[in-house]
A and B are shown apart, each in its own frame.
Chain A
C-alpha cells in the first residue's frame, strides 16, 4: 500500500502535473479575481473566503481525470483490481496521493493567497484549518467522480459536471467557517459539519468508487 502511494506520488510529480499545476492555477485565479471585481480592498476582503474556497475546488478538479485514467489505459488498473489489495484500498491510496499533491499544497499556500485578497487577519487560521479538513473530502469525492468516468473518452468536462455539485456542502460549510472566524463568531457548527462530511466521504466513497471501477473493468 505504501508502495502504491509512493508510486502515485512520484508519477504525479514526474508527470509535471503534480504540485505545480494546482498551485499555479490557484495563483492565477486569485490574480484574476481583482481584475474581474475591482481592486477595492473592502470588497475583496468580503469575497476572499468564498474565492479561496472555490479556487480550491477548481484546483482539485484539474488533476482528477488522470486519477484512474492513466492506469486504466495501460492496463495497470486491471492488475491492481486482481491484486490482493482490495480495490477500495487502492481508491483510498490514490485519493490520498491526490490530496497530498493537490489539497495539501493549497492549504500551505492559502495564507499567501489570502493576503493577496485582503483576507481578514482573524480569518487566516480558520482558512488553513477549514481547508485542511475539507480538501481531503474534495479528493475522495473527486476519486468517486473519476471512477465513474474512467472509461469515457474525454470525460473531463462530464467529471466536472458530476463532481462540482457534490462539492457544494463542503464549500458551504468551509466558507462559513472562515466568515464566522473573521467576525469572531463561533465556528463550531460548520466546522463539525465539515469534519463529518470529510470523515464520511473517506469512509464510504471508496466503496462506491470501487464498485464503479469494477463495472468499467468488466
Chain B
C-alpha cells in the first residue's frame, strides 16, 4: 500500500513525520491550554458568585 519511495524514502518520511509531529504538538498545546484556562475561569467566576460583594 505504501508507495515505493526509492532512495528518497528517509527524506520524505522524515519531512512528513517532523511536520505532522510539530502540527500535532501545536494542536495538543492549543487544546490543553484552552481546557485549562476554561476551567480556571469557571472556578474564578464561581468564586465571584459566592463572594460577598466588597
A–B direct touch in complex (beta carbons closer than 8 A): no
Q: Give the A-binding residues of B (Cβ under 8 A).
A: none
Q: Give the B-binding residues of A (Cβ under 8 A).
A: none
